[in-house]
Amino acid sequence: MNRSCPLTAVAWALAVLCATLATGASAQTAPIPASIPVPADQAGHQPADHLPAIQITGTALRGTDAQAAAVPVTVLGRADIERSGARTTTELLQQLPVMQGMTQTTSVVGNDSRGYASVSIHNLGDAYTLVLLNGQRVAPFGGQLSNGALSGVDINTIPLAMVERIEVLTDGASALYGADALGGVVNIITRRDGDANEATAGVTWPRGGAREWRLSAFKSVGSVEDAGQNLSLGVSAMRRSALRATARDYARDAIKDFNFEGQRYRFADVQDAGAPATIYDFTGTFGWANPMLKLTGRCPSGSYVYDNPYAPFFSYQFFPLCSYNYAGDLDLVPEQAQHSLMTSFTRQFTPDNKLQLDLLLSRSVVTSHLAPVATGFYGLDVLSSSPAFAGLGVGDNPVNLSYRFVDLGRRGFEDTSDLAHLAARLEGRLHGWSWSAGLSYSASYQRSDIEHALSTNAAKHLFDDGLVNPVVAPGQQTASDLAAQRAASYNGEWLSGRSTLAELQWLASRELMPLPGGPLKWAVGANLRREGLRFQPSLFAQGMLSDLGAGTMASSFDAGNLRLGDTVPMQSSSASRYVWGLLSEWQAPVAPALTLGAAVRTDHDEFAGQAWTGKTSARWQAAPNLMWRASLGTGFRTPTLNQMRSPGRSDGVTSKPYDCTADLQAVAVSLGAAPCSAAAIYPLVVGGNGDLQPEKSVQANLGLRLAPAAGYVLGADLWAVHIHDRIGSVDEAVAFEHPQAVPASTWTTVDTGSGPQLALQGRPTNLGTLMSSGLDLLASARRPTAIGVIDTQMRATVMLREDSQVYPGGPWFSAIDDGRYGAATLKWRANWRTSLIRAGWTHTLTARYQSGYDDAPITAYPVDANGQVTGPGQQIRLKAADQVLWDWQTSWQLDGTLQLTAGVVNIFDTKPPLSLNQGGAGKGQMLGYDERYFDARGRMLMLEARLTF
């Protein structure tokens, strides 16, 4: 596999650019007095002289051109949004090549991501990318985790139908915006003061599920230019059905046979808990088996016969056994509904003074499903005379039993994310100053509801009272037993969280004095904000319900009242803090072709203390058609409230069993936990860390823009980021590989009822250093030809370096093309789009490319032609291949009022490559592909109609 070049998508883009350049060869290289012309995607196809005097993201100085600043800003206009093929803000932003490391909505399936979706510039993480709405901060997600995950803005709550343009700053901007802009800024500008009203309806239709319906409407009353005021109102709704794993052959099974380097192998994620139960009899003649398999020679529906005498952790069992196929119960794409209402009001008091008001109310509801709840009972008292065990040869002494409540149905999770955002902004001019003042309040509320859950005590009582028959197949429980099981299960609220942000900001700029290249500009600003966070678990999550179905309160805490699999009760928490900052920025055109800039900022955090950051920049117009720009700055990021103040709680179990090594044995003994003896799954505990130190960073950028001819732009930006004291949790795989080298706080113990047990503590800590660098590339052309206007663009990002310490003082590791610890960094991501515009028709072809990587190591067993395991397990690392997806879209503008759009996403129905990775940040339970990098929806038909009136 050749990964030294951008490969297919980039090659296609360059070929098309060359062909397009040839069609316009007669064009002359035109002098450009102010700046390189803005590509189509950076101006929304508006001439520069029609653009209002706006403040571009990345500078506090007001200007008219994104390219006039010495920072890399990509601007996606409304036309570019429509041609992208994306129909949600999440899809649009996450398909940009500069985005990596974001959380996908699909990760909610088994990952506790709570329906959240984010953006992450250059794979730094969502906590490093500041998201603004009309230039003002938005409350971070209300359901964020204590380790810092899910702490960005939930992009699912931003309706794309209301977006006018999006500005993406891909350079660190702490010196202008504060802590959370260390990696960059995404500024979403909504529609206002439009001269047309419109209604839009659309559908997206994949095969087998994930079918999407969309409706939106936009109404504008009045005009600021004509009437001095405008009121705009927009509403939108989207509903997407679920895509079951059974609809995709590569994801429906938990046992996979595959070829690797000329040998056939089998990988199995064995789940012995099923219906009927797997039973181990201590003294009788039954042995270890599934009753149905023992009596009939076959397994029940939903389970597989698994026979592997070489599996070390099953060496004490009798083969074959029945393994439950949990993969077939998963939703690859969860059901989702979005509803939004946005209104904007603008009042122009004088030519220089105006008021802007914005209100956004939005809701996203994500519903996902996992396999039915399972339990294991050890030493369960049964009698051979019991009707359930009669005739099976089970002894009178206790037995071990692994059972899954299949008849209860799949476990359900409904995650609701609400956003309320109210902002006011005054702008004006006074005595040569251009000033603005903003006041905003933003709140994100998250709630998770669950269904078909059981506590340990509830499950035990069902068995003790004979209300479960563990030896019958699914669908054969008696009506009374099934009613009792349903009555004992929990359906309702699991937890909720609320994040609030209130901010007052002020900014002013003016020209100070003339310089050889233009006026010296100066800007000053200040902001004060209050951040609040509240976490409220349900009584069930706190272990305080003695009767789940009836909601009866327990007199005191009992670990048996916790949800099956949990070991530590959740605790409610709340925290708040004040943060204020001051900034100053200068822009000095010291020569007609050279502009220098500088910015300095101080921030004071109530918990983390004070920090100073600075930034210098330069912009050099080396020739009429060539511009260079550079910047160097420092940044910082404070821990989130949850990272510092969250109480400890259970977070399930590890993603897979880990071998009992001598080092792990030593850690367990040192903590007074029971020593390990075989491969096992370990409890997970998370919580805050009040001793965290702020991160500090240095970032640099060197870029150029070249216009070889009118309508053509080539660009490149070389960037680098160096982060010290990076905050994060020690990765699960790293902790078990180096149990004694990681910080001692990585390990703790929990009491599971049989004494202290070793547990992995996902507590955030200062991990060490990250050094990352890469190259962002741009090539665009827009030329009239004999067949119409051709508008083509290629964007690509290549990761050159990403070295990090996975624990403090540890060795350096690069995740570029390497997923050994669960999450790989893609070396290349690229998009190429070309449109042919002619007589009301717009035809757009898009290629989306991403490079492959080496997957996480797995243990697989060689099999022969008859499917029999022939030898012990071997460590294998699969290779995820490079992928190119092709999309087509055609839009037809009929008569100025009706626009029809049809398209096909993933024209060739390209499947994701095989992945058997089961761990890593943001990974759900899907098996057979990795949903963090690949889309299971496959080929999709898209239809849309827009009526303008």
Query: Does residue 737 fall inside a structural domain?
Result: no
Q: At a CB cut-off of 8 Å and minimum separation 6, what does 225 contact? A: none
CB 870 within 8 A of CB 270: no
Does the bond joining 72 to the residue before it have cis omega, within 30 degrees of 0?
Answer: no
CB 137 within 8 A of CB 145: no
Nearest partner of 168 among 151, 183, 156, judged by Cα: 183
What's the N-to-C CA distance of the chain in angstroms?
A: 53
Residue 101 has, within 13 A of its CA and on its CB side, a CA count of 20
Question: Quick one: pLDDT at residue 42?
Answer: 41
Strands 594-605 and 573-591 come out as: antiparallel
The encoded tokens of residue 917 equal: 């990775």
Q: In DSSP terms, which residues pair with 155 in a beta bridge? A: none
Whole-angstrom Cα distance, residue 81 to residue 132?
18
For the CA atoms of 163, 165, 170, 172, the dihedral, rounded to the nearest 10 degrees, stands at -70
Domain containing 786 equals 7-248+333-371+413-451+493-542+567-648+687-729+764-948
CB 6 within 8 A of CB 771: no
Query: Does residue 377 fall inside a structural domain?
Result: no
Whole-angstrom Cα distance, residue 63 to residue 56?
7
Query: Does residue 253 fall inside a structural domain?
Result: no
Whole-angstrom Cα distance, residue 332 to residue 252?
10
Using 70 as the pLDDT threshold, list the residues of the chain that sit under it.
Answer: 1-56, 63-69, 195, 282-287, 312-319, 378-391, 393-397, 752-754
Question: Quick one: pLDDT at residue 835?
Answer: 97
Query: Does residue 469 fall inside a structural domain?
Result: no
The encoded tokens of residue 148 equal: 């810092």
Whole-angstrom Cα distance, residue 650 to residue 495?
13
Query: Does residue 551 fall inside a structural domain?
Result: no
The encoded tokens of residue 628 equal: 């260079």
The encoded tokens of residue 459 equal: 């499950």
The encoded tokens of residue 155 equal: 């992009």
Residue 245 has, within 13 A of its CA and on its CB side, a CA count of 28
Nearest 5°: phi and psi at 760?
A: -90, 130
Nearest 5°: phi and psi at 878?
A: -70, 160
Whole-angstrom Cα distance, residue 125 to residue 141?
14
Whole-angstrom Cα distance, residue 559 to residue 567?
7
**Crossing angle (nearest 10°) for helices 479-488 and 456-464:** 160
Question: Quick one: pLDDT at residue 32?
Answer: 37
Residue 1 has, within 13 A of its CA and on its CB side, a CA count of 14
Whole-angstrom Cα distance, residue 253 to residue 788?
49
Beta strand extents in 276-320 (DSSP E only): 278-281, 288-289, 303-306
Whole-angstrom Cα distance, residue 452 to residue 565?
14
Nearest partner of 577 among 490, 523, 641, 639, judged by Cα: 641
Largest CA distance in the chain: 101
DSSP assignment, residue 808? T
Whole-angstrom Cα distance, residue 897 to residue 903?
20
Whole-angstrom Cα distance, residue 766 to residue 124?
15
Q: How many domains does the chain have?
A: 1
Question: Quick one: pLDDT at residue 650?
Answer: 72
Q: At a CB cut-off of 8 Å and minimum separation 6, what does 570 contact? A: 495, 537, 541, 542, 649, 650
Q: At a CB cut-off of 8 Å and minimum separation 6, what does 693 contact? A: 608, 725, 766
Contacts 24+ apart (CB under 8 A), 928-934: 928/248, 928/250, 928/251, 928/252, 928/253, 928/256, 928/327, 929/250, 929/251, 930/855, 930/880, 931/104, 931/106, 931/107, 931/109, 931/332, 932/104, 932/107, 932/823, 933/824, 933/826, 933/850, 933/880, 934/883
Whole-angstrom Cα distance, residue 57 to residue 413?
38
Whole-angstrom Cα distance, residue 81 to residue 47?
18
CA–CA distance from 870 to each of 131, 264, 860, 873 (Å)? 54, 10, 11, 10
CA 881 to chain CA centroid, nearest Å? 22
Query: Does residue 584 fall inside a structural domain?
Result: yes
CB 765 within 8 A of CB 743: yes
CA 284 to chain CA centroid, nearest Å? 51
Query: Does residue 522 fall inside a structural domain?
Result: yes
Whole-angstrom Cα distance, residue 141 to residue 180?
14
Query: Does residue 395 fall inside a structural domain?
Result: no
* Per-residue pLDDT tens digits for 167-211: 999 999 999 999 889 999 999 999 988 767 999 999 999 999 999
To which residue do tokens 């050994």 refer? 820
Does the bond joining 37 to the residue before it have cis omega, within 30 degrees of 0?
Answer: no
CA–CA distance from 292 to each of 301, 325, 469, 629 (Å)? 11, 16, 13, 72
Helix/strand/coil percentages in the chain, nearest 5: 15, 50, 40
DSSP assignment, residue 824? P
The encoded tokens of residue 657 equal: 């069993």
Nearest partner of 886 among 52, 12, 263, 3, judged by Cα: 12
Question: Quick one: pLDDT at residue 19?
Answer: 41
CB 497 within 8 A of CB 538: no
Q: How many CB atoms lie within 10 A of CB 195?
A: 9
The encoded tokens of residue 353 equal: 């003074």
Nearest partner of 98 among 623, 798, 811, judged by Cα: 798
* Per-residue pLDDT tens digits for 904-920: 999 999 999 999 998 77
Tally the residues of the chain.
Answer: 949
Q: How many CB atoms lie within 10 A of CB 578?
A: 13
Which CATH number fits the domain that encloses residue 123? 2.40.170.20
CB 48 within 8 A of CB 63: no
Per-residue burial over 258-281, b if 16 or more Cβ lie within 10 Å, else e, is beeeeebbbbbbbbbbbbbbbbbb
CA 677 to chain CA centroid, nearest Å? 37
Beta strand extents in 786-857 (DSSP E only): 788-805, 812-814, 828-838, 841-850, 853-854
The encoded tokens of residue 394 equal: 């089970």
Whole-angstrom Cα distance, residue 802 to residue 773?
7
Nearest 5°: phi and psi at 92?
A: -60, -50
Strands 858-862 and 828-838 come out as: unpaired
Q: What is the pTM of this model?
A: 0.90
To which residue do tokens 């032609």 refer? 865
Q: At a CB cut-off of 8 Å and minimum separation 6, what does 339 contact? A: 236, 237, 362, 363
